[in-house]
Chains A and B, each alone.
Chain A
Amino acid sequence: MDPKNPETKDLEYQALGEVFEVPIGPIHPALKEPIRLTFRVRGERIVGVEIRAGFVHRGIEFMGMRQGRNLIQVLYLAERICGICSISHPIALTQAVERAAGIEVPPRAQYIRVIISELERIHSHLLWAGVAAHELGFDTLLHLTWRVREKVLDILEELTGNRINYAIPIFGGVRRDITPEQYPKVWEALRYYRGLLEQLLDAFLHDPTVEARTRGVGILEPKEAEELCAVGPTARASGLRKDVRQDRPYLAYSDFQVKAITPADYGLTPMGDVYDKIVVRLLEVGQSLEIIEKALENMPEGEITSFPKIPALLAHLKKAEGEGLGWHEAPRGEVIHYIRLVAGEEAPLVWKVKAPTYSNLLSWRPMFEDQEIADIPIIAACIDPCICCNDRFYIVEGSREKIVAKEELLRLSWEKTRKISAHHRGEHGGAG
């Protein structure tokens, strides 16, 4: 039978029996963050999927536009959209505001933004590789990957003071310079990863278990990826040369001549399956190392911000009138922020955030189609979904959905803390 022919496919499905619905999520061991995927299955075969997001949407855009926050406060909010992309959103937002308010960014600051972004990509891709190994039931590889990931987090902590939420970009520049004593530490980390990359590629790509679980699983055809506007490694694994750093350069990225990576760069014909997504992400770790090396070698001297005094910056922003777009290739794909400023107002009139997972949600549909139930966790994970980038808040109570305000959440968490401390004090019949 021809599997591409819809009629024979339908007959095949019918032979498998009745259609059942299998809900996965919002809270489920297979998912790292809350989302609800309702699968229609015949036997073990998936015949359709319904995707419902929104379980951790916090109304961040509303909080930025309507609650009287000034732009610097909005910047800190943007940083908290996502822990893993915690420099991607500030980079997109600062560029949008700099466009709207006509602010220049000194060359050295652009280089520092690029370096921190690429370090973030390394830590994010290694985080994902570990999660993927875990979803495949290969926890040894998870622990290996996450152990080597610590090094890049240490460097980020050295340069910014934090493992995540770096607070580096500010409108007009960056908040911290890279000092002469820090250079050798960064170089040392780069050498460490250079030495590891081959090992990682070998551990993931030449392992029969990984190959068996990922080859031909969760395929996204190039045509589908293009039509559904997939972004990041999800699109590139299908063979699309789509990377914002290459297509619409920004900051200092044109200095590094970034080329979008596809599995073809590893000598493979892109299939768009989970295996290809591993290939692309691991190769991109190497690409990021290269960009950071070039950036360190060619680092321009000079100021790191065009507004060293925050009150002057705030005053300038308050007078600014205009609109602007800022974009960035985050580890998961294109992040874009639109902002509109009105003179005399501290808060932006319009702020729209688009995270990569928002663009990749639709790609899940063809990826799940005709797959096995047992492959749901790895296919769900393969776009590297970042639900917190994407979302809002409500709970499901029985079959009824209701919204929970922050106040109620706090009350519940206090209640729980009280219960736990009471338990520890032995008020519940003593520790047994």
Chain B
Amino acid sequence: MKASQVLSALSTALGEKLKNYELRPREVGVRQKWTVEEIWAEVSRDAIPEAVATLKSLGPLHISVISGHDAGEEIELLYHLAVGFGTEGGEVMVTLRTRVPKSDPAVPSICGILPGAETTEREKIEFLGVDFPGIPRKDHVFLPDDFPGHPWRRDEPELGKYLHYMVEWEKDDGSKES
């Protein structure tokens, strides 16, 4: 599969909803040079299921993970997908970027299209407090059910202190506990 093929399918299917996109090729190999292309595209959150369905129609689709980040007023999510495994150098990595406002942090679930996305969507529920309407189950994957807050949010200073206490054991002055 070629990245240009994937990109044209995405832009035909999504039209205006595909906001920015770029190809980031990487040269690999020492004696056998190969160019592995990556697509990085920004789409509106409502277009995520459509984009994923389009990718799935092109070939076998894999979701690596959804990464995310607290960007102040918004939460940014990055869907790292790969389409077309099974041939040498034939898989294209596609990263779909979308932003959701903190006042309404929700993106339609893609589990109906790609059931393998369940773990990573559930992880975003607990770590970033993003909701995925349509997800088959919302239980925590990693954190206890009564965990106070979402660890990757940067707007919860008290939680930050609590997490610091949990993961580090130096005293405030940097000395170790004796």
Contacts and interface: CB of A to CB of B under 8 A. Distances in A.
Contacts of B34: 249, 254
Interface stretch (A16-24, A168-176, A270-278, A346-354): A346-354
A406 B168 contact: yes
B115 to A, nearest CB: 5
A32 B157 CA distance: 37
A228 B111 CA distance: 10
B134 interface: no
A99 B26 contact: yes
Main secondary structure of the interface of A (DSSP, over half): mixed
A196 interface: no
Contacts of B142: 53-54, 57, 391-392
Contact of B62 (A229, A251, A298, A401): A229
A391 B144 CA distance: 12
A392 B147 CA distance: 12
Interface string B121-157: 0000000000000000000111111110001100000
A250 B25 CA distance: 12
Contact of B143 (A54, A99, A300): A54
A362 B116 contact: yes
Contacts of A338: 65, 67, 78, 80
B86 A241 contact: yes
A107 interface: yes
A349 B63 contact: no
A176 to B, nearest CB: 19
B86 A227 contact: no
B163 A358 contact: no
Contacts of A125: none
B176 to A, nearest CB: 10
B144 A59 contact: no
Nearest to B148: A403
B91 A247 contact: yes
B38 A53 contact: no
Contacts of B141: 53-54, 361
A104 B32 CA distance: 17
Interface in B1-44: 26, 28-34, 36, 38
A54 B140 contact: yes
Given A66-B160, A250-B36, A251-B28, A350 B69 contact: yes
A248 B36 contact: yes
A111 interface: yes
Contact of A249 (B29, B163, B167): B29
Interface string B79-102: 010101111111101010000000
A420 to B, nearest CB: 20
B178 to A, nearest CB: 10
Contact of A394 (B26, B95, B144, B167): B144
Contacts of A350: 67-69
B30 A248 contact: no
A178 to B, nearest CB: 15
| Residue among A226, A394, A410 with the highest chain B CB neighbour number at 10 A | A226
Contacts of B160: 66
Nearest to A231: B62
A284 B85 CA distance: 18
Interface string A382-415: 0000000001101000000111011100100000
B64 A327 contact: yes
Given A53-B141, A354-B64, A407-B169, A254 B152 contact: no
Contacts of A325: 38, 80, 93, 95
B28 A253 contact: yes
A234 B144 CA distance: 28
Interface string B48-90: 0000000000001011110111000000001010101111111
7 contacts: A62-B163, A67-B164, A228-B116, A250-B28, A254-B34, A359-B119, A406-B168
Given A66-B160, A240-B86, A334-B62, 19 more contacts: A54-B144, A59-B167, A63-B167, A66-B164, A111-B30, A226-B60, A229-B63, A241-B87, A247-B82, A249-B34, A254-B34, A255-B30, A255-B32, A325-B95, A352-B65, A354-B65, A401-B144, A402-B144, A403-B166
Interface of B: 26, 28-34, 36, 38, 60, 62-65, 67-69, 78, 80, 82, 84-91, 93, 95, 114-120, 140-147, 151-152, 160, 163-169, 177
